[in-house]
Amino acid sequence: MSNMSKLTRACLFGGVLAISGAFAHQAMASDPLAGDAIGLPPNISIALLYNQFSSDDAFTTSGGTKLNSHSTLTDDVTIARFVHTFDVGGYTVGVQAVEPYVAFLGTAKVEGAPLTKNSGFAQPLLGVFTFPINNDAAGESLAIGGWIIPPVSSYNASKEVTPSPNVTTWEADIGFHQILLGDPKGQNLSLEGWDNFYSYGINKNAAGGAATYHEEPTDEVRAYASYVINPAVGGYVAAGLFQSFGGKQTLDLHAAPVVIDTGNRTNETQLRFFYGQFVTPTLQLMGIGEYDVEAHGGFLNRSLQIRIAKFF
């Protein structure tokens, strides 16, 4: 099962950078957080609300050159999500749906050049997941899931910054959780790892309708270490590392047989920090901080997020 953190960033189409005639930046569909690979019981529902504020103050080219002179992108993302689990042959299986809304704040620009933008709904996400290993007594679990993200959103081909790239996206997830030290029902130290693979369709209406947008497949790896400090309320702290690879983005011009490398990639190295606990037996709060230490072909991201989860 996957929680959503940075569901979307800017999808940029335009000719404002000397490094590329047009470019695009797209974040991944889902973003598993620390604790997401812990097995769930069947026959429960979870309603989640997320809010994430991000301030990106530098753009980095695919070659690693940082353009931090008057390069900014600020956004506030609100996400609604619903999860339901059930039993299938003794295994927990679940379905989930997600809808994000992206508000771009202030002036977006790269090297001082302003970018046109529009806020609105990003593409919805529809997912399924299961836990082939779900051993609560031993503190070990294995999660497998998949998503489809249809091209339905507030995408605006005439804008350089828009909530979604408007391409059909397929995602496959696998994650594990293992307690290393301590009691599964008490204080303990655990390790969690994820691999997420993405494949994309195309957008024939990119760059104001002048080009077709393509993105190569992307892979993401996450590793988290968590420590339960207050078992009575499920209080825990966690730290982790995120790394993405690939995602070369190009524009195939309609007027001429020319393919433009936008210079954008989904290649990012990020540190993450978490704190979460239950404030009532069925209401959990989580805070997340994310800090990019390196990026190639995209904005350097710094963000704070709050997640509220209600269990039924």
Residue ranges of domains in the chain? 45-311
Give yes or no for a contact between 3 and 48, defined as CB atoms under 8 angstroms apart: yes
**What does the alpha-carbon distance between residue 73 and residue 248 come to, in Å, rounded to a whole number?**
21
Residue at token pair 């992108």: 73
Task: Please check the confidence at residue 12 and state whether its pLDDT lies above 70.
Answer: no
Task: Please check the confidence at residue 28 and state whether its pLDDT lies above 50.
Answer: no
Between residues 32 and 157, the one the model is more confident about: 32
Q: Which residues pair with 113 in a beta bridge?
A: 110
Task: Please check the confidence at residue 16 and state whether its pLDDT lies above 60.
Answer: no
Quote the pLDDT of residue 69.
64
Burial letters 71-103, b for 16+ CB under 10 A, else e: bbbebebebebebbbeeeeeebbbebebbbbbe
Give the tens place of pLDDT for each residue, 66-96. 776 677 888 999 999 999 999 999 999 999 9
**What does the alpha-carbon distance between residue 55 and residue 67 come to, in Å, rounded to a whole number?**
15
Query: What's the chain's average pLDDT?
Result: 85
Distant-in-sequence contacts of 179-188, Cβ < 8 A, 24+ apart:
179/138, 179/139, 179/140, 182/228, 184/136, 184/137, 184/138, 184/139, 185/231, 186/228, 186/231, 187/227, 187/228, 187/229, 187/231, 188/139, 188/227, 188/228
Give the tens place of pLDDT for each residue, 207-241. 888 889 999 999 999 999 999 999 999 999 999 99
Between residues 10 and 175, the one the model is more confident about: 175
Number of H helices, E strands in the chain: 0, 21
Find the range with the poorest average confidence among 8-12, 54-58, 166-170, 172-176. Answer: 8-12
Which pLDDT band, with edges at 50, 70 and 90, does 283 fall under? very high
**What does the alpha-carbon distance between residue 121 and residue 103 come to, in Å, rounded to a whole number?**
9
**What does the alpha-carbon distance between residue 92 and residue 88 come to, in Å, rounded to a whole number?**
6
Quote the pLDDT of residue 58.
77
Q: Which CATH class name applies to 45-311?
A: mainly beta
